[in-house]
Amino acid sequence: MAIPKLQAYALPESHDIPKNKVDWAFEPQRAALLIHDMQDYFVSFWGENCPMMAQVIANIAALRDYCKQHNIPVYYTAQPKEQSDEDRALLNDMWGPGLTRSPEQQKVVDRLTPDADDTVLVKWRYSAFHRSPLEQMLKESGRNQLIITGVYAHIGCMTTATDAFMRDIKPFMVADALADFSRDEHLMSLKYVAGRSGRVVMTEELLPAPIPASKAALREVILPLLDESDEPFDDDNLIDYGLDSVRMMALAARWRKVHGDIDFVMLAKNPTIDAWWKLLSREVK
């Protein structure tokens, strides 16, 4: 009845994306980001230090950073730690008491902690729209596209995508920023949404060109990712300025699309703008 212990699997890649029935263009000025149920409780079923989940979180973090830079609103869903039997209703039959047995795991995972200007919606059922002001908030802000990330792909994420479609809100399911009980169920959710209720994309499709054109452009990419108000010099260690491992992993994933040898270890070995520009400005082979 409860969620089982989950095993990591290979996340979908570009060649796994099913044929989309619609070709909606992503419009940042019309979009909002949904980070769905990324609470300690739901993520804990993969155990600690799961590489697959680290990559999913890094991809979500990259999308969130992009949204922050482009004034795209960010929404979270989170189940409350206290839920009466009346509130849970049939969820008790299907999943048991769920998160209410582990209230200490109610918060969103540390690496995706909501900012003060983000909206956290109380989650009651599979769809993020159920008993929430999400539809009204989107429409009042002129947003009719919803980027969907989080867990679990074939349950809440797929249901939210379909519910969005029925409310004339275009869902964009981000294949490699989702996780599920299994790869088969993950791919099933993508196939359903691509053919019935939305568009399935990869993280990289929603982000700008992966490689900055100059060292100055690289600096513009890095500065919003830092916690410190002071700007680093080109040879300063970026970790000292608050650059964390999740954002570094997201950068590595983006830049690896052009330079296949770039990985997290390479960036972490010498985390400076000078060193990274030297890596990025190499001739592509």
Q: What tokens appear for 58 in the block? A: 């890094």
| Distance in angstroms (rounded) separating the CA atoms of residues 178 and 180 | 7
Of 36, 154, 170, 259, the active-site residue reads 36
37 is catalytic: yes
In Å, the largest CA–CA distance within the chain is 62
Residue 176 in 3-state DSSP?
Answer: strand
Q: At what angle do helices 51-69 and 245-255 cross, to 10 degrees?
A: 90
Output the DSSP codes for 121-165.
Answer: EEP-SSSTTTTSSHHHHHHHTT--EEEEEEE-IIIIIHHHHHHHH
Tokens at residue 281, please?
A: 């400005």
Catalytic residue among 65, 118, 123, 259: 123
The question of whether 123 is a catalytic residue gets the answer: yes
Catalytic residue among 37, 163, 176, 180: 37
CA atoms of 124 and 82, how far apart (whole Å): 11
- Residues with a catalytic annotation lie at 36-37, 123
